[in-house]
Chain A
Amino acid sequence: MTYMELASQFAPELILTIGALAIMMIGLFLATSQKKVLGYLAAIFLAVASLVIVCRGVYVIQMEGILADSLTIDPMSQFFKLTFLVVSLIVVIASIKEYDNHSNQDEYYTLILLGTIGMMVVASAIDIVTMFIGFELASLSTYALAGFNKKDPNSLEAAVKYFIIGALSSTLLLFGLSYIYGMSGGLTNIGELADFFSANPAVLQSPLGIIALMLIVAGFGFKMALVPFHMWAPDTYQGAPTVISALLAAGSKKMAFVAAFRIILIAMIAIKVDIAMVFMILAIITMTLGNVVALSQKSIKRMLAYSSVAQAGYISMVFVVMSPEALTAGILYVMSHAFMKTGAFIAVAALGYMLLKENSNAKDVDHLDNFAGLGKRSPFLAFSIMIFLFALAGIPLTAGFVSKFLLFLSVLEGGFLLLVVFAILNSALSLYYYARVVKYMYVLPPSSDEKLNIPGAYAVAIVLALIGVLAIGIYSEPFIIWAESAANVLGL
């Protein structure tokens, strides 16, 4: 493969790399008041990169063995790359207004682009070392982003917690992977590992193998925020700048899922039954705890964080069922959830921005009480939040419904009746706290009659997410087929 071919295969990554460097350089020469242009620049780079993927077509032929067997281009990588790119794009567009007067905008946008590149590398990686490097690139960028509001103690607390737990989980993951590396006699390629462990299942069933697996599951568990590894997520999502919470919940968390899909599903296929049991317990505990705790939250960001935990529980049912249908549904769920969660967080960020503009001393702008009467104060924002929340609850004609429908269907098809019953009960439970926000917005009287005017940048970002949620919900066929071809890559 020549360098030109390589460059064209990885054009989206290269575009973002150039963008990240360019923004950092240009930022040096701009006054703070002019730095707003960097946001537009970052948005353009992200939009171009997404367009490249869309134009290349999503049904690409699988290409393996690029760069010494470390990366691949297949429908699965393209699917997730597009998800990450669109999430980052929405986040960047919303940030244009959020930080239009911030002196560190150059670092901010550079970090978002670098983080996105990291996620994209993970989506493409078929080598555990490359995957880990992608992981770290994305994680390090988002650690800094979580603490971007450096004068806000909550933001700093969020960043520190996220950093410590993130470092711990990376260590666990790396430790587990190193055992795998040793036991297999020095293999790092995921495909070769899968072959090796299918031929020698006894290796993974040895005590050392079990420890390695536990470490890996724990490492991914932290990243995916599965209970009991979830404690960092609510604090981090609540404390971090809201737009960054969107990136964390919809982007970096989903990165853990794509990595887990590849590693756990392929390399661990040898001991299917044991790991299915572990994940079944994790999934049930995760969704139940996430939903139950979300019920009592008054901070909407925290509620969304717990809802995110619960949704991770739903998605991790894929690891239990391990069928192509379940994987299809899980992949579709990841994309749907990315849109719903980004949209919800961005909408909350928009409300926070408007409230702070109205009264710069306002505290706890994401408190439930601030949503009272929002339907009158800002009909568009209230309507979008309602759609995002209904999508998260799985109400028909939204992305959340289609993906939940397919996922639950596939779990039942796999014969896990108990699991589906738990998922369904949870789904009903979750309706309570989503509907409560809707009730606040439309039923309760507003605290003031003044209209809130939503800034254009936020509106654009929210509309993008809305389009995603409704497109997947109504015109689902292409997305299902795409998710199906992505799932086929793993050859379950």
Chain B
Amino acid sequence: MIDYVLSLILFIPLIGAALTLLFAKSRESARVVALTASAISFVLTIMIYLQFESGIAFLQFQFIDKIPWMSSMGISYYLGVDGVSMPLILLNAILCPLTIIYAWGENKLPNQFFALILVLQAGVFGVFMALDFFLFYIFWEITLIPLYFLISIWGGPNKDYAAIKFFIYTHVASLVMVLGIFALYFSTGVNTFEIPVLLQAFSDIASPEMRVGIFLALFFGFLVKMPTVPFHTWLPDAHVEAPTAGSVLLAGVLLKMGGYGLFRVLLPMIDGLGDYRPYIITLMAVLAVVSILYATFAALAQKDLKKMVAYSSVAHMGYVMLGAAAFNYMSVSGAMFQQFSHGLITAVLFMSVGVIQHSVHTRIIPDLGGLADRMPKLAFLMMCGFMASLGLPAMSGFIAEFMVLTGSYLTLPVYALLAMLGIVATAGYHLWALQRAMFGSYNEKLGEPHDLANFELVPMAILVLLIILFGVYPGSVMEMFEYASKIIPGVMI
């Protein structure tokens, strides 16, 4: 095995970003360098993915890189993976190269564009790998910067507002999270920022109020990122204005950081909450159900196709929260799988919307119509994506949502039933939008659109294949999640 393989996976995109920014003068060289860097990361990720072994005890990590950094504060450069993070790292490694291929035709400042995507990839890798809260927070914050620029340089007409809103909103949330990290650090008194140590020391904190306070501060940081209603308002704005590649990564991997925080940090703490545990579970369940229902109905009302997809993201992340709140083995592994699956599905959706915007210059649903006539390839792939998103069996989304709802029914039956109400509306807005935008008679005002270019077709087709593959055979990804959720302390098996 290669030494420091996680660091390699993490830093190769960064090096690629520097090379792209400094040396790639033409669009051709920029995109080739960027694709190469993220492809190398992808190959390395596959290597460790194949060597990864599930089924080890709680908080045991593999491929550990640990270098002391600020020893006086107990801060180290500490990376490692386990069943919670490994599939998400895989997701990130798959999505970024595909996004780069999708954006192959980018004309505006291509070298900066691709460099920012690579920085974003590295930041997300870092979040999923970091086992030191200080490092975790650094990567968490670093991801804001490339996305801020992606929105504010390549974004739509209202980009300034969206970019700054995104930046400040999520920055405030991270600052609250950092408050929780501080409190965790000094109230455990272990003088280290290592996540495993702090998680184990959490239940030793004497004051139960302190434990709840820490939990809520961290929770706030994660739920804004996911995002959960009522803290979701930055997301539709950011999506509407962001360029397609930015949206794909925002919904595909950045939101997953919030869910990852939930699984990595918060679920292991739930057992240590003592008397407050039922209240916290209720809070999470209520937020989840409100997210699912509110975002689903909001999606139903959208005229802008992209905004509709953005709201569907909020709703789907609500299932992640619901599965986590139900806190049994089935719901939690379903929620983890929902993160993975939603990453793939939402990428197809945003790519489809991007293609429509690009070829007919509008994404307002009533202005579209009959696009399937002129863009059959797009129509096919987009339909696959939409079907996966509404939870059609044999697609990955079905398995995830099925497990979440079945699992939740065991521990939170009322909430599970309420969430199921959303499923009807989910099917409704997907099919309705598809019908109005893609089918029916062709709206001649739209001109003569081109169907998918090859560089758009390939990533979307790969994603659809993966969605079907994981829908039919969830295989090792699901296995890792199952093992990982079984060993969370206090989880109901």
Contacts and interface: CB of A to CB of B under 8 A. Distances in A.
Contacts, number: 71
Interface stretch (A49-57, A99-107, A475-483): A475-483
Contact of B137 (A396, A427, A480): A396
B148 interface: yes
Interface stretch (A34-42, A166-174, A402-410): A402-410
Interface string A294-330: 0000000000000000000000000000000000000
Interface in A159-217: none
Interface in B104-157: 134, 137-138, 141-142, 145, 148-149, 152-153
A480 B148 contact: no
A439 B145 CA distance: 11
Given A396-B137, A396-B138, A431-B167, A443 B153 contact: yes
A413 B186 contact: yes
A484 B70 CA distance: 13
Contacts of A476: 69-70
A406 B134 CA distance: 11
B129 to A, nearest CB: 16
Contacts of B152: 439, 442-443
Given A412-B183, A432-B164, A432-B168, A406 B73 contact: yes
A421 B138 CA distance: 20
A412 B153 contact: no
A25 interface: no
Interface string B48-74: 000000000000000000000111110
A409 B168 contact: no
Interface in A328-372: none
B171 A442 contact: no
Given A395-B145, A443-B160, 6 more contacts: A406-B73, A421-B179, A424-B176, A431-B171, A435-B148, A439-B160
A11 interface: no
B182 to A, nearest CB: 5
> Which 6 pairs, one residue from A and one from B, show the smallest C-beta to C-beta distance?
A396-B138, A424-B175, A428-B172, A413-B186, A412-B182, A477-B70
Given A424-B176, A428-B172, A435-B148, A397 B70 contact: no
B167 A409 contact: no
A480 B183 CA distance: 20
B171 A428 contact: yes
B197 interface: no
A484 B138 contact: no
Given A431-B167, A431-B168, A443-B152, A412 B186 contact: yes
Nearest to B155: A443
Interface string A423-464: 011011001100110010011000000000000000000000
A480 B73 contact: yes
B435 to A, nearest CB: 38
A420 interface: yes
Contacts of B172: 425, 428
B168 to A, nearest CB: 6
Contacts of A425: 172, 175
Contact of B175 (A428, A435, A439): A428
B153 A442 contact: yes
Interface of A: 390, 395-397, 401-402, 405-406, 408-409, 412-413, 420-421, 424-425, 427-428, 431-432, 435-436, 439, 442-443, 476-477, 480-481, 484
B1 to A, nearest CB: 28
A188 to B, nearest CB: 35
15 contacts: A395-B141, A397-B138, A408-B179, A409-B182, A412-B182, A424-B175, A424-B179, A425-B175, A428-B171, A435-B167, A436-B164, A442-B152, A476-B70, A477-B69, A480-B73
Contacts of A408: 178-179, 182
B470 interface: no
B219 interface: no
Contacts of A401: 138
B22 to A, nearest CB: 10
B325 to A, nearest CB: 27
Contacts of B141: 395-396
Contacts of A413: 182, 186
Contact of B71 (A402, A435, A477): A477
A480 B73 CA distance: 9
Contacts of A477: 69-72
A273 to B, nearest CB: 22
Interface string B378-410: 000000000000000000000000000000000
Given A432-B164, A442-B149, A480 B70 contact: yes
Contacts of B142: 396-397
B340 interface: no
B185 interface: yes
A409 B186 CA distance: 8
Contacts of B69: 476-477
A435 B164 contact: yes
Q: Residue among B71, B149, B171 with the most chain A CB within 10 A?
A: B171
Contacts of A424: 175-176, 178-179
Contacts of B176: 424
Nearest to B137: A396
A481 B72 contact: yes
Given A396-B142, A432-B168, A480 B175 contact: no
Contacts of B160: 439, 443
A476 B77 CA distance: 13
Contacts of A396: 137-138, 141-142
B76 to A, nearest CB: 11
A461 B132 CA distance: 35
Given A396-B137, A409-B182, A424-B175, A480 B72 contact: yes
A472 B178 CA distance: 20
Interface in B157-196: 160, 163-164, 167-168, 171-172, 175-176, 178-179, 182-183, 185-186
A439 B160 CA distance: 9
A427 B167 CA distance: 13
A428 B168 contact: yes
Contacts of A442: 149, 152-153
Contacts of A481: 72
A436 B152 CA distance: 11
A428 B178 CA distance: 12
A390 B163 CA distance: 16
A99 B243 CA distance: 46
Contacts of B137: 396
Contacts of A428: 168, 171-172, 175
Nearest to A386: B145
A50 B153 CA distance: 43
Nearest to A428: B172
Q: Residue among B73, B149, B152 with the most chain A CB within 10 A?
A: B73
B126 to A, nearest CB: 10
A412 B71 contact: no
B237 to A, nearest CB: 16
A477 B76 CA distance: 11
Contacts of B168: 428, 431-432
A396 B178 CA distance: 12
Contacts of B182: 408-409, 412-413, 420
A5 B54 CA distance: 67
Interface in B54-102: 69-73
A403 to B, nearest CB: 12
Contacts of A439: 152, 160, 163-164
A471 B428 CA distance: 55
A336 to B, nearest CB: 14
Contacts of A435: 148, 164, 167
A111 B350 CA distance: 62
A162 to B, nearest CB: 34
A421 B164 CA distance: 21
Contacts of B72: 477, 480-481, 484
A436 B153 CA distance: 13
A409 B73 CA distance: 11
Nearest to B159: A443
